[in-house]
């Protein structure tokens, strides 16, 4: 909400225009308010397998269907932030020419606005205009998830409301979100006990120090190679409890910024060694803000 140049108070509408209490519209473009869920999570839930997310608690959550179920997060009212490997999976063999991003965009489905899969399907998928994959992502390197970030542009802006709101991005240079012990939330519709759940789940996970994660990775191999844990990633969770799994990939690792009172996407669910065998690894969004801004051209960064 903002104050207009006249005597009235102007409200930001979903289409990006301002409207006052008398129904008059003003010229300046406004941007959707991010990171203000109607029913934010207030307690630290660390239930094994995750807890059911109340409606309105993660209103930026997207469910994607590309090579299977995946996740994403709404930015503004036109963009979905997700993981590159949901677009070009590591496990998918390269036989002949790789499917183009144009072809992928034509068959990609994105669902928004609810916490149950059935209701999401009833609401219907949002048509896609374009898909962008970070140039640093290497789809043929199964042990290396560096650059695991992608953007999906919707054809039309979504209508925002209590169950559909964007998440904020971190301020450039603010590395406090990645401090050891800082709590964040991973949410998604991923695999749970060998089946796909019908309800959005979430779990609280602490950011873990790099040294602990590097030590935990020591001796572990992916296709006979040491998994890459680059500076563009961070790790969260515990070596002794369940983490995210297939179907959660691409979803946001969200944190509450105590200073602004807004929820911020600090990471993207990226990779791990198994689904229930320790730490999870996340794309560090802070390192990709320039790329996101360059693609979207938006001013809400």
- Residues taking part in catalysis: 85, 148, 249
Rounded distance, CA 199 to CA 57, Å? 13
Are 265 and 73 in contact, with CB atoms under 8 Å apart? yes
The CB density around residue 55, as the number of other CB atoms within 10 Å, is 16
**Run of H or E residues at 86:** helix 84-87
3 state SS of 289: helix
- Over the range 251-264, which residues count as b (16 or more CB within 10 Å of their CB) and which as e? bbbbbbbeeeebbb
Torsion of CA 196, 239, 255, 190, to 10 degrees: -10
Are 187 and 205 in contact, with CB atoms under 8 Å apart? no
Rounded distance, CA 166 to CA 39, Å? 14
Find, among 120, 119, 117, 131, the residue nearest to 197 by Cα.
117
| Residue 184: both structure tokens together | 């964040």
């Amino acid at each position: 909400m903002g104050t207009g140049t006249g005597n009235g108070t102007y409200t930001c509408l979903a289409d990006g225009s301002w409207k006052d209490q008398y129904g008059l519209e003003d010229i300046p473009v406004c941007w959707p308010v991010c990171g203000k869920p109607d029913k934010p999570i207030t307690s630290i839930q660390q239930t094994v397998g995750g807890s059911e997310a109340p409606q309105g608690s993660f209103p930026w959550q997207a469910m994607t269907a590309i090579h299977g179920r995946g996740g994403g997060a709404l930015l503004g009212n036109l963009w979905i932030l997700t993981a590159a490997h949901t677009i070009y999976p590591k496990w998918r063999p390269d036989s002949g020419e790789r499917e183009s991003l144009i072809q992928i965009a034509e068959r990609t489905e994105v669902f928004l606005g609810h916490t149950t899969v059935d209701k999401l399907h009833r609401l219907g998928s949002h048509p896609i205009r374009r898909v962008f994959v970070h140039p640093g992502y290497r789809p043929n390197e199964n042990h290396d998830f560096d650059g695991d970030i992608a953007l999906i542009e919707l054809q039309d802006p979504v209508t925002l409301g209590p169950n559909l709101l964007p998440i904020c991005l971190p301020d450039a240079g603010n590395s406090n979100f990645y401090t050891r012990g800082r709590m964040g939330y991973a949410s998604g519709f991923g695999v749970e006990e060998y089946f796909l759940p019908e309800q959005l789940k979430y779990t609280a996970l602490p950011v873990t120090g790099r040294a602990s994660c590097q030590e935990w990775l020591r001796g572990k191999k992916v296709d006979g190679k040491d998994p890459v844990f680059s500076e563009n990633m961070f790790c969260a969770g515990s070596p002794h409890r369940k983490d995210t799994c297939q179907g959660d990939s691409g979803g946001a690792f969200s944190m509450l910024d105590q200073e602004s009172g807004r929820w911020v996407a600090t990471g993207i669910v990226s990779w791990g060694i198994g689904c229930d065998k320790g730490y999870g690894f996340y794309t560090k969004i802070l390192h990709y803000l320039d790329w996101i801004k360059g693609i979207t051209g938006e001013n809400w960064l």
